[in-house]
Homo-oligomer: A and B are copies of this chain.
Amino acid sequence: MAPPHPFDPLSAAEITAAVSLVKKAHGAGLFFHVVSLQEPRKAAMTEWLAAPETTPRPARVAEVVVIENPAGTVYDGLVDITTGKITAWEKLTGMQPIILMEELQHVENVVRSDPMVIEQCVLSGVPREDMHKIYCDPWTIGYDERFGSDVRLQQALMYYRPDIDNTQYQYPLDFCPIYDGNKDAIIAIDIPKVRRPLSKVAPLDYHHMAQEKRGGYRDDVKPINISQPEGVSFSVEGNEISWQNWRFHVGFNYREGPIFNNVRFVDNGVERPIFYRMSLVEMVVPYGNPERPHQRKHAFDLGEYGAGYMSNSLSLGCDCKGSISYLDADMPTRTGGVRTIKNAVCIHEEDDGILFKHTDFRDDSTIVTRARKLIVQNIFTAANYEYAVQWIFHQDGTIEPNIRLTGILNTYIMNPGEDTHGWGTQVYPGVNAHNHQHLFCLRINPNLDGGNKNSVFLSDAVASDAPVGSAENFYGNAFYAKRTRLETTKEAKTDFNWSTMRSWDMVNENNVHPYSGKPVSYKLVSREVPTLLPKPQSLVWKRAAFARHTVHVTKYADDQLYPAGRHVPQTSGEPSLGLPEWIGEGNDSIVNTDIVLWHTFGLTHFPAPEDYPIMPAEPIVLLLRPRHFFASNPVMDVPPSYSVTPSQILAKKGVYDATDKMSTLVLGGRSHGANGVNGSHCCTNGTNGVNGHSTNGVNGHATNGVNGHATNGVNGHATNGVNGHATNGINGH
């Protein structure tokens, strides 16, 4: 068997080997929170990528984070799987590693049998014998200053299901037990001043049994079939993906989910590096209700729970449609086993409408080329929410991170007539969905054209300073792209500016475009960039420092991956971990060096009843676009659907016609007949159009047209036209 690619995630065997070495050295009672590839150090890896045949293969190293129970002591170490050695083993204090599904799931059983919780349930109106109908979404506690970071805590957001098939989010309970994982016990319950008894409202469920009771499904949805009888246009070899001119490696880890390494584009036969690494590295979901203990609801879904750990097994014809390839993911279990998430990533292509088109109005020469896109998708479920993260690669060199938010709103109970004070919305009787934000952090280590020497420029669309009426700007229409190079990490703390429609250009100043004179670049175009609404110095602001600005830029360092810290649960934000630590005073130069761009984007969600009981997906899209990177349009070699030149129009031959023959005409509507649709030539203006061989058209051999051999036209050999050899025209000869 071929050795793994150095960027490949740890295999099941490697996880097992690492666990075994650790157990041997440190005992069997450990809980394994992380057993994941430590990606090769970039210097070594860059050498290897340049000459894999002759360069030593980087070692396979596992990051291992464990908790030793019952003391709850945390160790963070490295295991060199290649040599079988533990190369680092550090005891951490005041830090909690990522929380595991196993820990979360356990708490539901604990609350059901805890006397204090049972008492609160009864007070809320749940019969004592109904404790099996009590559910909770345990979250890591966020941060609670009463308990600090030394004990491992969860907050249990409480719900009730009258029936096992009811969505619990419509029956929240008003109190919040706190679970201590070291003691394996509920140690406190947060009880609000105003009590809110369990709602008795009729359930509104989204599943098929409920819908069938409501009258069943609509019957006017006809199948849309997608097939690729000749196969797909991509190939997947291990984790290396090749599609059109794109080449990249898809990794995967417990935290980020998919990771894109060594992203490159084949430009006229030459593989040009673009990004060394690209992924989502963090997110935070702060809720806007200031009443305790809701301030603790600000999940760092990646750092606290892990997009990888929470990934769905995707399903053919369901999550993904068409011809699909999948990647599995091997994850450790808490006790040191391995679980495989089947189909953690799906890969497929889709038609994407028009790639480019032009028709010359004077001669009907035309080209229409259709686009397609490659979608690499991962979906993870963070308790109530689903995040469908699509990384879309376009033929023209554009990369489109595209996230659809769906799932279920986090809800809290409200009394009849209670004022939400604007901090939430009553989406259903007794159900208060609190305002919240989803703020994602995209991390990009650019490597445009190799060499790892890049810079970042602001690009701002601004008017000329010269006033209207001045010699330089007499008519006042002058505007340009003001480009500002970010010199230091301090300067690089930058925010969106709508009035200049700011974008950020990652550039390699050493490679200047021969025509435009501008450095090769990738432009970050991102518009869903809300400010962090928790105020400066607030708890969330302190913990989620990455979200204070739209963009940060740092100098590359191998282990600076996670902008809210390597261990996120229960951080106090004092000091703020991650980015602020690395930036410090901010005097590091980020010019023409190996840099990392950190981009925060997302949306602010003020819930509405349409989002309930399950949310239609809401999209967030951003673009990474090549500018001054390619000599010219890089997709002119994509086969068009139709292309005809002016001389071919005149000669009536030579047309390139690869029109999709599967498409069908649906009758109906104000269409005058068969001409045009199934006519002799595609994509020009047809039989009765403006140009071409139209009967009543403007140009060409028209009978009543304007130009050409028109009978009643304006120009050309028109009979009643305006110009040319027109019989009744004004400019006829």
Chain B CB within 10 Å — which of A327, A367, A372, A685 has the most?
A685
Chain A residues 674 to 705 lying within 8 A of chain B, measured CB to CB, are: 675-679, 682-690, 694, 696-699, 704-705
Nearest Cβ distance between residue A675 and chain B, in whole angstroms? 6
- Cα(A109)–Cα(B713), bound, Å: 14
Nearest Cβ distance between residue A670 and chain B, in whole angstroms? 5
* Residues of chain B within 8 A of A404, CB atoms compared: 353-354
* Residues of chain B within 8 A of A334, CB atoms compared: 706, 714, 722
Selecting from A91-99, A122-130, A283-291, the interface stretch reads A283-291
4 A-B pairs with least C-beta separation: A476-B538, A342-B676, A317-B660, A295-B475
Known A209-B654, A222-B231, A643-B207; contact A634-B621, beta-carbon cutoff 8 A: no
- Flag if A223 contacts B230 (CB, 8 Å): yes
One digit per residue, 1 when the CB lies within 8 angstroms of any chain B CB and 0 when it does not, for chain A 611-650 equals 1111111000100011111111111111111111111001
- Flag if A165 contacts B324 (CB, 8 Å): no
Q: Would you call A422 an interface residue if the criterion is a C-beta within 8 Å of the partner chain's C-beta atoms?
A: yes
One digit per residue, 1 when the CB lies within 8 angstroms of any chain B CB and 0 when it does not, for chain A 174-206 equals 000000000010000000000000000000101
6 additional contacts (CB under 8 A) given A224-B226, A333-B704, A355-B616: A220-B233, A221-B638, A290-B478, A326-B677, A342-B685, A461-B604
Nearest Cβ distance between residue A14 and chain B, in whole angstroms? 13
Nearest Cβ distance between residue A689 and chain B, in whole angstroms? 5
Chain B CB within 10 Å — which of A163, A611, A636 has the most?
A636
- Flag if A359 contacts B386 (CB, 8 Å): yes
A686 contact from B320, B343, B355, B641, Cβ within 8 A: B343
| Nearest CB in chain B to that of A290: its residue | B478
A319 contact from B217, B349, B354, Cβ within 8 A: B354
Known A343-B671, A358-B406; contact A636-B211, beta-carbon cutoff 8 A: yes
Selecting from A53-61, A73-81, A465-473, A560-568, the interface stretch reads A465-473
Chain B CB within 10 Å — which of A473, A476, A530, A536 has the most?
A476
- Flag if B515 contacts A318 (CB, 8 Å): no
Q: Would you call A135 an interface residue if the criterion is a C-beta within 8 Å of the partner chain's C-beta atoms?
A: yes
One digit per residue, 1 when the CB lies within 8 angstroms of any chain B CB and 0 when it does not, for chain A 312-323 equals 110111111111
- Flag if B686 contacts A480 (CB, 8 Å): no
Q: Would you call A663 an interface residue if the criterion is a C-beta within 8 Å of the partner chain's C-beta atoms?
A: yes
Q: Would you call A89 an interface residue if the criterion is a C-beta within 8 Å of the partner chain's C-beta atoms?
A: no
Nearest Cβ distance between residue A167 and chain B, in whole angstroms? 9
- Flag if A539 contacts B476 (CB, 8 Å): yes
Q: Would you call A533 an interface residue if the criterion is a C-beta within 8 Å of the partner chain's C-beta atoms?
A: yes
Nearest Cβ distance between residue A106 and chain B, in whole angstroms? 5
Nearest Cβ distance between residue A35 and chain B, in whole angstroms? 14
Chain A residues 353 to 400 lying within 8 A of chain B, measured CB to CB, are: 353-359, 361-362, 365, 367-368, 370-372, 379, 381, 383-384, 386, 388, 394-398
- Flag if B467 contacts A535 (CB, 8 Å): yes
Nearest Cβ distance between residue A694 and chain B, in whole angstroms? 7
Q: Would you call A162 an interface residue if the criterion is a C-beta within 8 Å of the partner chain's C-beta atoms?
A: no
A326 contact from B318, B656, B671, Cβ within 8 A: B671
One digit per residue, 1 when the CB lies within 8 angstroms of any chain B CB and 0 when it does not, for chain A 584-623 equals 0000000000000000000110101111111111000100
- Size of chain A's interface in residues, with CB distance under 8 A? 261
| Nearest CB in chain B to that of A661: its residue | B317
- Flag if A516 contacts B608 (CB, 8 Å): yes
| Nearest CB in chain B to that of A349: its residue | B224
A426 contact from B9, B108, B354, B516, Cβ within 8 A: B516
| Nearest CB in chain B to that of A537: its residue | B468
| Nearest CB in chain B to that of A729: its residue | B335
Q: Would you call A214 an interface residue if the criterion is a C-beta within 8 Å of the partner chain's C-beta atoms?
A: yes
| Nearest CB in chain B to that of A694: its residue | B339
Nearest Cβ distance between residue A432 and chain B, in whole angstroms? 10
| Nearest CB in chain B to that of A386: its residue | B357
| Nearest CB in chain B to that of A238: its residue | B670
* Residues of chain B within 8 A of A669, CB atoms compared: 236, 238-239, 325-327, 347
Selecting from A38-46, A271-279, A497-505, the interface stretch reads A497-505
| Nearest CB in chain B to that of A513: its residue | B609
One digit per residue, 1 when the CB lies within 8 angstroms of any chain B CB and 0 when it does not, for chain A 448-485 equals 00000000000101111011100011111111110000
- Cα(A698)–Cα(B381), bound, Å: 15
* Residues of chain B within 8 A of A317, CB atoms compared: 641, 659-663, 682
Q: Would you call A580 an interface residue if the criterion is a C-beta within 8 Å of the partner chain's C-beta atoms?
A: no
- Flag if B688 contacts A340 (CB, 8 Å): yes
A616 contact from B218, B239, B635, B720, Cβ within 8 A: B635
- Flag if A207 contacts B704 (CB, 8 Å): no
* Residues of chain B within 8 A of A662, CB atoms compared: 223, 225-227, 317, 321
Q: Would you call A27 an interface residue if the criterion is a C-beta within 8 Å of the partner chain's C-beta atoms?
A: no
Nearest Cβ distance between residue A392 and chain B, in whole angstroms? 11
A321 contact from B349, B351, B730, Cβ within 8 A: B351
* Residues of chain B within 8 A of A105, CB atoms compared: 361-362, 698-699, 706-707, 714-715
* Residues of chain B within 8 A of A665, CB atoms compared: 316, 323-326
Chain B CB within 10 Å — which of A224, A706, A723 has the most?
A224
* Residues of chain B within 8 A of A281, CB atoms compared: none
Q: Would you call A407 an interface residue if the criterion is a C-beta within 8 Å of the partner chain's C-beta atoms?
A: yes
- Flag if B477 contacts A206 (CB, 8 Å): no
Q: Would you call A517 an interface residue if the criterion is a C-beta within 8 Å of the partner chain's C-beta atoms?
A: yes
